[in-house]
Amino acid sequence: MFVFLKILQEGVVLAVQELWNNKLRSFLSVLGITIGIFCVISVLMMVDSVEKSIRGSLARLGDDVVYIDRFPWDGGHGKWWLYLKRPYPNYKDYKALQENTTLASAVSMRIILGDKELQYRDNKMTGVGMGAITYDFGEVYNLDVEEGRYFTPQETQMGQNTVILGHSLAKELFPFGADPIGKEIKAMRKRVRVVGVLKKEGKSLLGDGFDNVALLPYNFMRRYIDVNSRRVRPLLAVKASEGVGLDDLKDDIRRVIRSSHKLRPRAEDDFAMNQVSLLSSFLDNIFAIVNFAGLIIGLFSILVGGFGIANIMFVSVKERTNIIGIKKSLGAKSHFILFEFLIESVCLCILGGLLGLVLVLGVTVIGNAFIDSFELVLSFRNVVWGILISMVIGVVSGFLPALSAARMNPVEAIRQK
């Protein structure tokens, strides 16, 4: 053990001396590993950051909720022409589920209206997204009201002229810290009263949640728009009761909606039941492919750096042939010589890897200053991956030069100049 530690110490010292005595040559060799590690870890870091952002957005949808729509989220084996013939979920389906499901804790319906107008006094906003929702929407989507309150059951049932504003929407509509609660605004030229402001969710790659959305009671909107229009994108969401599995809930939903649609026993469903796990499985495949592609691209860069390290190690062996002969003549074992050069090669590669990680860290800091939709994060796992890859490249690149040094004949090596 003591001998190994001694060899490790000498290897590190010789690696530092090699860098110092041959600065340009060593820098160019280490640069190849630096670029390679930078490419690999940058790709892994980017993919991890994007994946974290997307999965965080999907988590808002809830893993105990079933969504009823025309199209299945997993693509449905490409039978899109069949799904186009399906009806959109409607208010009748919502009432049927609300009254007849036995395994659901909440049933909600929402429609989305885009490019609408909000106005408070002289402050007018255009291109606003509006959602018409039923009462249980807040429970299904876990809405967090920061100021004011959520709708009451009576407000949603009677369709009263009330509105809940997203955080960013409220800040823009009521600037300079004005309190929006209780104020009257115009939504689609109809007077409504602000009863609540949602907590800020922040942006992600899938959008900014409800930060820029105004929510109104579904029955209020029914008086002014055609809620059965295909342009309003209706969606039903059913949340399972505590302890109820999604498969049991889906069976219950299927029973109710098939009855509501008056489908024959052998007829196929004319609706799709979706859940977050469908998207998660799809994302797993996508990110696995992207990670693999990024790894292949980065490995080509590392391969070039590996040849550079092998070259500098062969030169180092050639320059120290005389010293190797003297060490072996004094009793140094071949495997000691082998380890000595391997450790030197690994040290050079680790140095290159650490420089690559520093560059990646710099990219994360600069990137986060300009990217708003998600946060770049250099995880501890990727740092470990970078160091391990550097070590492996060091062993692979330095093995042949180290082996040639270990096999030298001491007499012939001493005679070399």
The closest alpha carbon to 40, from 270, 378, 394, 375, belongs to 378
For residue 327, what pLDDT is reported? 79
- DSSP-derived 3-state class of residue 85: coil
Between CA 210 and CA 270 the distance in angstroms is 30
For residue 59, what pLDDT is reported? 65
Q: Are 238 and 253 in contact (CB under 8 A)?
A: yes
For residue 319, what pLDDT is reported? 80
Predicted confidence pLDDT, tens digits, the chain (417 residues): 666 676 667 667 766 776 677 777 777 778 888 888 888 888 888 888 887 777 776 666 777 899 998 888 776 666 777 788 888 898 999 999 999 998 999 999 999 888 888 999 889 998 898 999 999 999 998 889 999 999 999 999 999 999 999 999 999 999 887 899 999 999 988 999 999 999 988 766 555 578 889 999 999 998 888 887 777 888 899 999 988 988 999 999 999 999 999 999 889 888 999 888 767 777 777 777 877 777 777 777 777 778 878 888 888 788 878 888 887 787 777 877 888 788 888 888 888 899 999 999 999 999 888 877 678 888 898 899 889 988 889 888 888 988 888 888 877 777 765
Q: Is 4 exposed, middle or buried (0-12, 13-18, 19+ CB in 10 A)?
A: exposed
- Note the pTM of the prediction, 2 decimals: 0.69
What are the CA-CA distances from residue 294 to residues 176, 300, 301 (Å)?
46, 10, 11
For residue 219, what pLDDT is reported? 93
Q: Is 151 exposed, middle or buried (0-12, 13-18, 19+ CB in 10 A)?
A: buried
For residue 53, what pLDDT is reported? 77
Phi, psi of 92 (to 5 degrees): -65, -40
Q: State the angle between helix axes of 334-370 and 380-406 in degrees (0 to 180), rounded to the nearest 10.
A: 150
